[in-house]
Amino acid sequence: MTAVNLRDLTRRTAFSGLPLVMLTAGLAGAGLSGAPVAAAAGAATAAATTPDPIDPDSLFLNGWMGQIRDVIGDRPLNKVVMPGSHDAGSWSITDKSGVCDTASEASNTHKYPAVAAAISVTQSGPIKAQLDAGSRYLDLRLCKQNGKWYTYHGGPLGGLFFDDPASGQKGEINDIAAWIRDHPKEIVTIDLRTSVPTESATADNKEAVDLLARAIGTGRMADKNKLRPSSTYNQYMAAGSNVILLDNTSSTDAGWDWPKDRIDGRDSYVENKDWGGLIKEAVTNPFSSDPAIDKISRTALDRDQQVLSTNLGKPDTFFSLSGNVDSTLAIPDAAYDVASNGMNFRGGDGVPYMLYLARQHNYNLVKKLEGEWRYSSIARNTNIVAYDNVNMGDGRGPIRGSGYINAAIIANNTPTTAPGTLVGTQRRPDGSWSAAETLPGAYGALEFAGGERAVTAMPNGDLQFLVYGTDKHLYHSIRSANGSWSGWNRLDSDAVDSQLNGGPLAMTGTPDGSLQALTVDRDGNLLHTLRRPDGSWSGWAGVGDGTGKGVMKAKDVAVTSLPNNSVKVLVYGQDGAMRLTERYADGTWEKSGWQVLPGAGGAATFAGKDLSITATRDSTLQIAAIGQDGNVWHMAQSPQRVNSGWNTPLWSAGQPMQASAVAIAATPDGAAQLLAVGKDGNTWHSLRQADGRWTGFAAPHGAYNRLLAATSVKITGLPDGSTYSLIDAR
Dist CA 269 CA 275 (whole Å): 13
pLDDT of 453 higher than 50: yes
* CATH code for the structural domain at 15-26+51-415: 3.20.20.190
| Model confidence band, residue 44 (pLDDT cutoffs 50, 70, 90) | very low
pLDDT higher at 385 or 356: 385
pLDDT of 122 higher than 50: yes
- Phi and psi dihedrals of 570, rounded to 5? -120, 135
pLDDT of 395 higher than 50: no
- Phi and psi dihedrals of 354, rounded to 5? -65, -30
pLDDT of 245 higher than 50: yes
Identify the pLDDT of residue 340.
Answer: 47
Average pLDDT over all residues of the chain: 86
- Weakest mean pLDDT among 150-154, 298-302, 580-584, 670-674: 298-302
Q: Which long-range contacts (CB under 8 A, 24 or more apart) does 281-290 make?
A: 282/357, 283/118, 283/119, 283/330, 283/334, 283/338, 283/341, 283/343, 283/347, 283/353, 284/337, 284/338, 284/341, 284/343, 286/347, 286/348, 286/349, 286/353, 286/356, 287/348, 287/349
Q: How many CB atoms lie within 10 A of CB 225?
A: 9
Average pLDDT over residues 526-535: 97
pLDDT of 88 higher than 60: yes
* SS3 label, residue 681: coil
Identify the pLDDT of residue 91.
Answer: 96
| Model confidence band, residue 416 (pLDDT cutoffs 50, 70, 90) | confident
Average pLDDT over residues 164-192: 93
- Weakest mean pLDDT among 45-54, 415-424, 479-488: 45-54
Strongest mean pLDDT among 318-332, 334-348, 435-449:
435-449
Please write down the HEC assignment for all residues of 293-338: HHHHHHHHHHHHHHHHHHCCCCCCCEEEEECCCCCCCHHHHHHHHH
| Model confidence band, residue 258 (pLDDT cutoffs 50, 70, 90) | confident
Average pLDDT over residues 651-674: 96
Identify the pLDDT of residue 33.
Answer: 26
Give the CATH architecture of domain 423-729: 6 Propeller (2.120)
Task: Tell me the CB-side half-sphere exposure of residue 450, using CA atoms within 13 A.
Answer: 32
The percent of residues in the chain predicted with pLDDT above 70, rounded, is 85
- Weakest mean pLDDT among 168-177, 270-279, 534-543, 549-558: 270-279
Identify the pLDDT of residue 192.
Answer: 86
Dist CA 518 CA 498 (whole Å): 16
pLDDT higher at 294 or 532: 532
pLDDT higher at 39 or 233: 233
pLDDT higher at 26 or 453: 453
Average pLDDT over residues 563-569: 97
Average pLDDT over residues 199-214: 94
Identify the pLDDT of residue 28.
Answer: 31
pLDDT of 570 higher than 50: yes
- Phi and psi dihedrals of 478, rounded to 5? -130, 130
> For residue range 671-704, what is the model confidence (pLDDT) as tens digits?
999 999 999 999 999 999 999 999 999 999 877 7
Q: Are 521 and 499 in contact (CB under 8 A)?
A: yes
Dist CA 159 CA 665 (whole Å): 68
pLDDT of 11 higher than 50: no
Domain spans in the chain, listed from the N-terminal domain onward: 15-26+51-415, 423-729
